[in-house]
Amino acid sequence: MTKPTQFETRAIQATEPHDDETGSVANAIYPSTTFKRETDGTFKSGYIYSRKANPNRSLLESALATIEEGEFALAFASGMAAINTVLQSLKPGDHVIVPDDAYYEVRRTLGELFSTWHLAHTQVDMTDHEAIKAAIKPNTQLIWIESPSNPLLKVTDIKTVADLAHANDALCIVDNTWCTPVLQRPLALGADAVMYSTTKYYGGHSDSLSGALVLNPAAPESFKAQLKNIQNLSGAVPSAFDAWLITRGIKTLKLRVMQQVSNAQKLAEFFAQHDAVDAVHFPDLANHPQHELATRQMPDGCGAMISIQVGSGREAAMAVIAKLQLFTPATSLGGVESLVEHRKSVEDALSQTPENLIRISVGIEHIDDLMADWQNALS
């Protein structure tokens, strides 16, 4: 049989059970922390101890690499564990460039944890290529991209920034959590690795905490080896059950994401026409500052996250959220259920997020019901 080329087929094939003994169509869960040695001391199964490898994690990592078309993947206990692994691969005295609106806990991690070993960082508007160039130093080793950004949904030209990083002997890594490989392929655009909080769209049901890195074959061999070593030594890996849940989520990833994208597009257009909404941050709207780039870089849709600004401040935004019935006020995103959040409330004092901004994760409910809920909340 020829190798499947379509995403949906590869997602199913990559997550099929590898155990032919039972004929089970569903994957088994292997909670064992340790594995039997042979009488000569070897391990016939290839597994020794679950921190090093587990059958469920192995299948997940293989599936992630397959659908992303990467060389290999590493699964972690959370997205932040994956990010910390990347930062731990750098040396004291190295310099990192991150977005000026980076996820606030990335900024906190750099400022509160890695500053103690003298890992320097600069925040830059990633839509301004001249500003990125100006921020590069002789010791710059990494340019970190989040696109679309959280929560202002600014879009970065991944290929241009990756080329710039490589021209200066630096790595380029992309947080692609919001788009998944369904909508955006950073490795194909030159990124050395792509990072996911697989808690979000990969899992899709708000019931599993995990993260992942998928590596480009062209990434430096020393960097790839270092990531594998840190994953093993730090032990920040997902449980067998979490790995099983994320693997199951891959099977329906594209179906869910495309329904969410469809809903988000219609909801964003609704917001754009509503008098009570002062601003809509959504790259698929024609008036978005990076709309042309977004449609070129994400031709099948720019995701299912929307941010809107309403009223004059925090109180106005909170009042709108309180009137919603179908959108659960909660942190996180990417589940089948729609969520809403006053983003500034969960970020720190250094956050650039406007006080009147509401971040929305659009689910798979019927769009007519979702729009009616917002119509009532905004009236």
At 31, which amino acid appears? P
What is the Cα–Cα distance from 23 to 26, expressed in whole angstroms?
A: 9
DSSP state of 233: H
What is the Cα–Cα distance from 264 to 327, expressed in whole angstroms?
A: 13
At 350, which amino acid appears? L
Q: Which CA distances in Å does 284 have to 101, 265, 325, 344?
A: 20, 7, 26, 24
What is the Cα–Cα distance from 341 to 328, expressed in whole angstroms?
A: 8
Q: Is 51 a catalytic residue?
A: yes
Q: Is 200 a catalytic residue?
A: yes
Q: Is 323 a catalytic residue?
A: no
List the catalytic residue out of 94, 101, 157, 175: 175
The pair phi, psi for residue 252, each rounded to 5°, is -110, 10
Q: Is 256 a catalytic residue?
A: no
Concatenate the DSSP letters of all residues of 119-173 into one string: -EEEEE-TT-HHHHHHH--TTEEEEEEESS-TTT-----HHHHHHHHHHTT-EEE
List the catalytic residue out of 10, 30, 101, 103: 103
List the catalytic residue out of 10, 57, 185, 200: 200
SS (H, E, C) 257-299: HHHHHHHHHHHHHHHHCCCCEEEEECCCCCCCCCHHHHHHHCC
What is the Cα–Cα distance from 129 to 121, expressed in whole angstroms?
A: 17
At 326, which amino acid appears? L
160 contacts: CB under 8 Å, gap ≥ 6: 129
* Residues annotated as catalytic (active site), given as ranges: 51, 103, 175, 200
